[in-house]
Chain A
Amino acid sequence: MNDIIIAVLRSGTPLVYVTLAGVIAQRAGIWNLGLEGLMIIGACATILGIVVTGSITLALLIAIFFAVLASILLWFVVEKLKANPIIAGLGLTGLGLGGTALAIQSFFGSQSAVNAPFGLPRLGPAFGVYGVLSILVVLMPVVVFALWFLLCRTRFGLQLSACGEHPFAARSVGLNPSMMRLIALSIGGVPAALGGAELAAGSLQFFGQNMTAGRGFMAFAAVIFGAAHPIGATLAAMFFSVLSAIGIRAQLVFGDRVPHDLIQALPYLATVFGLWLSSRLRGGTNGAVTEIRDN
């Protein structure tokens, strides 16, 4: 039982961090499909940071720096160059995947993976079998709570949601939706970097090309499944992790009798089902009236 919990926490924690980045962007009105790119930038920068500086703190700061920078780039392309946010997000993902591959090749020649001498600090033997978990796992609930508080219990959070849901209403009370989106994306860069760091340096200590393997998109699915609520999306992300853990178990038990791809698709099938369910429960929304004269 303990090993299942550990497996779920290990695979779920990076997903939750990245999901939180998606939640705050979604609230501000940007469908962030660049999560995958942000995550891999975070992962790569952490490992390279450790290798280059030898300090985990500096490595995390470097990861955060690059993830925030990439988020600001997304904001610039969407808000200033008026690009379609979906395309721009996918572009960011491409940039992250390609850019990190390029980065490790230029640092280390033609390798496709980099090993670090050490990873994130672990909890240690005092926690028994859970001692193998990294400190970012324990920090995760704190970050979730902090973001929940920021989004749901402060005026700033309401203003952010207003900018996403009804920009004209936000403008009418004197807010600048574009600036609020910049703030939201920049804040989101932090958990996205932590998610990447936990993925690469939490239980492992290496970075490999494409190592995020679609987790950013799964995080986006969790944002939608959780209706962009920090707690809801966190639960959705953990739910997906449980599903994949079950999938891996199933694979061990059933072997090749169940198609591997089907099991991998489980979280996405669950998302589709969840979206259908929640739209049934909430009843048809009568499409919010937006005033397109707002410009």
Chain B
Amino acid sequence: MTDPHAPALVCQNVSVTYGPVTALEAVSTAFDAGLIHAVVGQNGAGKTTFARVASGLVRPSGGHVAINGHVMRGGNVSAARAAGVELVHQSFALPPSFTVAEAMEFGATGAGRFFTRSSLFARWRPHLESLDISVDLGARIRDLPVETQQGIEIARALVTQAKVLILDEPTAVLSPSGIEKLFERVRRLKAQGVTVLLILHKIREVLAIADTVTVLRAGRLVEGPLMTTDVDGERLSRLIIGDASRGLAAVDAQALTGAGTVEHGPTDAKPVTAAPVLKLSSITTFGDPEGPALQDVDFEVRPGEIVGIAGVEGNGQRTLVRLIADFAKASRGGVYLGGHDINTQPLAQRRSKGLRIIPFERNTEGLSLSSSLWENWTARALLEKPLLRLVNPALLRSECDAALKAWGVRYDNVAQKAGALSGGNAQKVILSREIDRDAKLIIAAQPTRGLDIGATAFVWDALRQARDRGCGIILISSDLDELFDISDRVNVMLAGRIVGTFTAPYDMNAVGAAMIGAS
């Protein structure tokens, strides 16, 4: 029974259906104890569903899960937790008004049902310290930066003696240094004997951290667990997206798999001389709730170029987007869109001039999760019409249907709520709405976060095509590979200023140094 290499988690013919959608179909696999396992697959492949079945949140319609040899009754979280399985969700799940200490306590089991504020702090401080999370235990969850929130989620999952820890796309919300720290933490857990399952999209990350990799596609097990020493990036991308991988341009494949240094994708390299579509002239903004104020930013985007913005998250990227979207105000300087001063214009007017935004937060800023897909999708067109114009819902629905199909969104029908889509598919809905024929300036803020490699390449192509049509594009990303691959020029932001401009061929070290101000 205590054989260290007996499988910690076994799935036998697990199937899950949501109404007409089959999310998992007869998946059988086994994960050895004490290793780090990656689970990969396209958006909507069923990764999250798999994690929820293993953790008891979703009851499989067929098959079963066994933990450390014990067959679980499906759909019982308490039993799964008692057996040692814990799940950290893709979009975090802690009550936002709770303090850190309360967030630890509410999921705890065992003795100590009463507490005072200080006894609660005393109970959980050592736990957080042992995980190397330094945070004020009285801070509220909603006030914490996302990296700390994730740390708290992991700490929450470890309040009981977890033997199997499942992390659903933990790297999607993290900066490169945050990812490094997360991997450090995961390795330490492995050293303590915890079996870790990581759901990942980036092949580079899989190869860097995992011992084995398991591939799902359209609810079925494709292969796995394979030892990562036996696979390379190319094979893995073929397993994930199937034959489609043959269509990938070589540079994209490299940026996606992280094999070798990324070079700038081929462009026709015609020097762009047209008048800038966006121009910021010595802009200084007021302080902003979502990041540092911009200081003396001079910046322009010409039609037909992709301008990348690199920088550690929280250095003014959000303020930049908010300025262009009329959420943050300039105290000095001018904002020009297509040559017009738009400083005093509301967002709707800016949009009618061709401004499009793919926002940072898809669930709160990009979509209304409780509205239907077609309502979300038609918001763009409706915004530009006079308030009392009649609309034809049937026509809008069929337009939406066609657009979403063209973008390869996996959905059931356009009346579905946006919240029922898998994370990656939700992002595609936003892309299909914001990248249209009338777009003149597209701001893409982390557009490929949480997307699978096929979808990522798809987005890159869509952005390139928009550029070739004459759009100006601002690409904000924390993924340098992505920036180097598709940007014609990369600006680095630090503390609300633009501290460097780079052109291809990019020097990874120089950009990295500029990002942390070590030049």
Please list the residues of chain A having a beta carbon within 8 angstroms of any beta carbon in chain B. Answer: 149, 153-156, 158-159, 161-162, 165-166, 168-174, 285-293
Smallest beta-carbon distance B513→chain A, Å: 34
Q: Are A172 and B77 in contact (CB under 8 A)?
A: yes
Smallest beta-carbon distance B47→chain A, Å: 14
Q: Are B96 and A166 in contact (CB under 8 A)?
A: yes
Bound Cα distance from A272 to B95, whole angstroms: 26
Smallest beta-carbon distance B61→chain A, Å: 15
Most buried by A among B76, B106, B417: B106
Bound Cα distance from A274 to B420, whole angstroms: 37
Chain B 94-112 interface mask (CB, 8 Å, partner A; 1/0):
1111100010011110001
Q: B70 — which chain A residues lie within 8 A by C-beta? A: none
Bound Cα distance from A286 to B364, whole angstroms: 9
Smallest beta-carbon distance B146→chain A, Å: 12
Q: Are B77 and A174 in contact (CB under 8 A)?
A: yes
Q: Of B76, B106, B114, which one neighbours A173 at CB under 8 angstroms?
A: B106
Smallest beta-carbon distance A165→chain B, Å: 4
Q: B102 — which chain A residues lie within 8 A by C-beta? A: 158
Q: B56 — which chain A residues lie within 8 A by C-beta? A: 174
7 additional A-B pairs beyond A158-B105, A170-B106, beta carbons within 8 Å, are A156-B113, A158-B102, A161-B97, A162-B98, A171-B57, A172-B93, A172-B107
Q: Are A162 and B106 in contact (CB under 8 A)?
A: yes
Which size bracket describes the interface of B in this complex? 35 or more
Q: Are A292 and B142 in contact (CB under 8 A)?
A: no
B419 sits at the interface (CB 8 A): yes
Q: B105 — which chain A residues lie within 8 A by C-beta? A: 155, 158
Q: A293 — which chain B residues lie within 8 A by C-beta? A: 419-420
Q: Which residue of A lies closest to B93 (CB)?
A: A169
Bound Cα distance from A174 to B109, whole angstroms: 10
B331 sits at the interface (CB 8 A): no
Q: Are B108 and A155 in contact (CB under 8 A)?
A: yes
Q: Are A172 and B57 in contact (CB under 8 A)?
A: yes
Q: Which residue of B lies closest to A286 (CB)?
A: B364
Q: Are B97 and A289 in contact (CB under 8 A)?
A: no
Bound Cα distance from A165 to B81, whole angstroms: 22
Q: Which residue of B lies closest to A172 (CB)?
A: B93
Q: A292 — which chain B residues lie within 8 A by C-beta? A: 369-370, 417, 419-420
Bound Cα distance from A289 to B370, whole angstroms: 11
Bound Cα distance from A268 to B337, whole angstroms: 48
B22 sits at the interface (CB 8 A): no
11 interchain pairs (CB within 8 A)? A153-B115, A155-B115, A158-B98, A158-B105, A158-B106, A170-B106, A172-B107, A173-B77, A173-B106, A174-B76, A290-B369
| 8 interchain residue pairs of minimum CB distance | A174-B78, A173-B107, A292-B419, A174-B77, A158-B106, A169-B93, A165-B95, A166-B95
B190 sits at the interface (CB 8 A): no
The binding surface of chain B is classed by DSSP as loop
Smallest beta-carbon distance B118→chain A, Å: 12
Smallest beta-carbon distance B367→chain A, Å: 11
Q: Are A291 and B419 in contact (CB under 8 A)?
A: yes
Smallest beta-carbon distance B288→chain A, Å: 14
Q: Which residue of A lies closest to B78 (CB)?
A: A174
Q: A155-B106, A162-B95, A291-B91 are in contact. Are A174 and B116 (CB under 8 A)?
A: no
Q: A165-B96, A174-B77 are in contact. Are A159 and B106 (CB under 8 A)?
A: yes
B148 sits at the interface (CB 8 A): no
Q: Are A173 and B417 in contact (CB under 8 A)?
A: no
Chain B 457-490 interface mask (CB, 8 Å, partner A; 1/0):
0000000000000000000000000000000000
Q: Are B370 and A291 in contact (CB under 8 A)?
A: no
Smallest beta-carbon distance B415→chain A, Å: 14
Q: Of A153, A168, A169, which one neighbours B114 at CB under 8 angstroms?
A: A153
Q: A291 — which chain B residues lie within 8 A by C-beta? A: 89, 91, 93, 369, 419
Q: Are B106 and A172 in contact (CB under 8 A)?
A: no
Bound Cα distance from A209 to B112, whole angstroms: 47
B198 sits at the interface (CB 8 A): no
Q: Are B93 and A155 in contact (CB under 8 A)?
A: no
Q: Are B78 and A166 in contact (CB under 8 A)?
A: no
B455 sits at the interface (CB 8 A): no
Bound Cα distance from A281 to B98, whole angstroms: 19
Bound Cα distance from A207 to B98, whole angstroms: 43
Smallest beta-carbon distance B95→chain A, Å: 4
Chain B 65-96 interface mask (CB, 8 Å, partner A; 1/0):
00000000000111011000001010101111
Q: Are B116 and A166 in contact (CB under 8 A)?
A: no
B363 sits at the interface (CB 8 A): yes
Q: B417 — which chain A residues lie within 8 A by C-beta? A: 292
Smallest beta-carbon distance B376→chain A, Å: 13
Q: Are B96 and A288 in contact (CB under 8 A)?
A: yes
Q: Which residue of A lies closest to B77 (CB)?
A: A174
